[in-house]
Amino acid sequence: MAVSEQTVARAASLRDELNRYNHHYYTLDAPLVSDAQYDSLLNELRAIEAEYPELRTPDSPTQRVGSAPLGKFPKVQHPVPMLSLGNAFNADDLAAWRRRAEQIIGTQPMRYTVEPKIDGLAVALTYINGVFSVGATRGNGEIGEDITANLRTIRDVPLRLQPIDGQPLPERIEVRGEVYLPIEAFNQLNERQAHAGEKVFANPRNAAAGSLRQLDSTITASRPLRFFAYAVGPFSGVDLNSQAETLNSLRSYGFSINPDTRLFDDFAAVVDYCHEWMGRRELLSYEVDGVVVKIDDFAMQRELGVVGRDPRWAIAYKFPAREETTTLLNIVINVGRTGKLIPNAVLEPISLGGTTVQHASLHNADYIISRDIRIGDRVVVKRAGDVIPYVIGPIVEARTGNEQPWPAPTFCPTCGQPVEQLADEVDIYCINNACPARLIRSIEHWVSRGAMDIVGMGERQASQFVEMGLIKSIPDIYRLNIASFAGREGYGDRRVANLLNAIEESKQRPLDRVITALGINGVGTVAAVDLARYFRSLPALAQATIEQLTAIDGIGGSTAQSVVDFFSTPANQQLIAELLALGVQAEPGDVAEPQSDRLAGKSFVITGTLPGISREAAQALIEAHGGKVGGSVSKKTNYLLAGDAAGSKLAKAQSLGVIVLSMDELYALLADS
Ligand SMILES: [Zn+2]
């Protein structure tokens, strides 16, 4: 049966419309229609193509779902080799690269493009008369593999180029770029793989490579791969003279271009931007392992040429590695204040991001077992930003057979009592309230600086006093006296007097510090201040209802629930009664009454060593004027209060455009308004 003209036209218009919606959704991040509307149009096109297969064009959005599995990938010869890049690791390397370029082309004015180096897989996409026809991996640079069907499933790879106003599309153009997997998608994929007993990927790049080299393109289609275009290979029928112009044209053709690409006239600005990127990499939703600096002008690029495989006109400024492999020597378990069993990896020491790492988090028992992490395994360890280093997973291929699977603990390693795992929780708990490990952690927390701040008592004393039998509960801290230490080695009169003084003095800590010290789930120093301000005494807080609690700005439903749970537990009621009877004051104190609302609605983060004031006091000052103090810098942070030796938080604040204040500037802010 012949296809009617109407059907041909409808199929063409559906293709255009769907490709356009797709571009707005994935590349521009600005959807034009709902998912349901999109699906309904796609189904209409599918139905037409099922009836008239001759209408199924290579640029049809229906082709994004993948097609029949291949036996193997055909090889593709790259018409112009895909080059690699030389590396720079510091400003000196960058300067040396520029000097070498100047020795060839002279000291004429140069412009530079700087682009983040996405940690993914380089590919080359060939478009003939605007239609995507062949896509290949980089391979060895000369010969790659034809993975066209797989690349077609990536939503921000245009199947057809959009014409630029009034200009014909290039007859032929090879577009080069990076296929990558966003970090969130990578984590979700690994979670699924682990629970299905499948291989866990070491990093997003491996996961992207594994997804892209599937012989069954429907598997590729199920992985949310993305694509950034960054260069062109051979082209004809179009005029491109610089990298910046090329990126603009690629954007107009419908490609995703990295939004952080910059063009500079000044080399010093290039070096600054490279440094700035070190802090910024933590904020992206995808992995970057450096930045690429290119001399912008194509005529200069041709003059500079290539040495070996590396172009002289481009260089990769590489960031320090954040991932390494090492041997997992042992898994030890710490018991937390709440009884949570926390497994930790003991590693053969490795250098990671500039420091030596020999311990890493393993999150929880479920994590270890679902990933089949064994003692003796070669493991991949990651350290990113302020996050504690953690084990990503084992390198199964490196196993020798001597690795020991790790059995989930059934008894607490400290008190020997049976442990418990709730049905839908990943953590295992020691539920013995008298567990010495839990008591020691509770004491450590109670005496810590942000809580009751008892000078002379720390981790060491907490375990000593528990072992000596001097402390069996938190109130016992306030029952210590001179007689407790009689005849104890290392506890002379002076030391004991100082300690007892510090304990006595801590009874005056204001209510919010006592609330913090209680260690209620979800109640940190900020929430404690809110609760103290509102309830003004421990007995009042103990009577609080969920409704009252959630009415307070900053207290969410789960925190409210844990406050109510805490005070309804008889052991905790007993604890409060004893503390009050022993003379712990828990008065509202200064911080409970705001002094002004000059900082109302403003959120602060504090970093570094402040001149003449402790961080706690600075926080109290900000809060007394209605401001909030948080732990990490985000787009919502208004001010970063920075002292000496400010580190990654400062870099992060600068890259986000958060205002950075000195202590003097904070005082000025309070004085002026
Ligand atoms: Zn225990």
Residue 54 sits in the same domain as residue 97: no
Residue 220 sits in the same domain as residue 344: no
| The dihedral formed by the CA atoms of 535, 539, 544 and 549, expressed in degrees to the nearest 10 | 30
Residue 329 has pLDDT above 70, yes or no: yes
pLDDT score recorded for residue 592: 46
Greater confidence, 624 or 38?
A: 38
Residue 130 sits in the same domain as residue 217: yes
pLDDT score recorded for residue 616: 78
Measured in Å, residue 438 CA sits from the centre of ligand 1 at: 7
E-state strands within 106-207: 112-118, 121-128, 131-137, 143-145, 172-180
Number of domains the chain contains: 4
Q: Is residue 652 part of a domain?
A: yes
Measured in Å, residue 430 CA sits from the centre of ligand 1 at: 5
Measured in Å, residue 433 CA sits from the centre of ligand 1 at: 8
For residue 229, the surrounding DSSP H or E stretch is strand 226-236
Greater confidence, 61 or 166?
A: 61
Measured in Å, residue 455 CA sits from the centre of ligand 1 at: 27
Domain stop point among 318, 348, 379: 318
Measured in Å, residue 458 CA sits from the centre of ligand 1 at: 21
Domain stop point among 403, 420, 449: 403
Residue 172 sits in the same domain as residue 51: no
Residue 227 sits in the same domain as residue 305: yes
What's the CA gap between 197 and 178, in Å, rounded?
A: 29
Indicate the pLDDT class of residue 175, thresholds 50, 70 and 90.
very high
Residue 198 sits in the same domain as residue 243: yes
Residue 208 sits in the same domain as residue 59: no
Residue 528 has pLDDT above 80, yes or no: yes
Measured in Å, residue 415 CA sits from the centre of ligand 1 at: 4
CATH number at residue 175: 3.30.470.30
Kindly list the catalytic residues.
117
What's the CA gap between 77 and 145, in Å, rounded?
A: 8
Measured in Å, residue 336 CA sits from the centre of ligand 1 at: 9
For residue 668, the surrounding DSSP H or E stretch is helix 663-672
DSSP label of 2: P
Residue 42 sits in the same domain as residue 147: no
pLDDT score recorded for residue 44: 92
What's the pTM? 0.64
Residue 215 sits in the same domain as residue 275: yes
Residue 163 sits in the same domain as residue 216: yes
E-state strands within 435-515: none
CATH number at residue 375: 2.40.50.140
What's the CA gap between 371 and 398, in Å, rounded?
A: 15
- pLDDT per residue over 131-152, tens digit each? 999 999 988 888 899 999 999 9
What's the domain range around 664?
603-669
pLDDT score recorded for residue 385: 63
- pLDDT per residue over 34-49, tens digit each? 887 888 898 899 899 9
Q: Is residue 242 part of a domain?
A: yes
- pLDDT per residue over 216-250, tens digit each? 888 888 899 999 999 999 999 889 999 999 999 99
CATH number at residue 35: 1.10.287.610
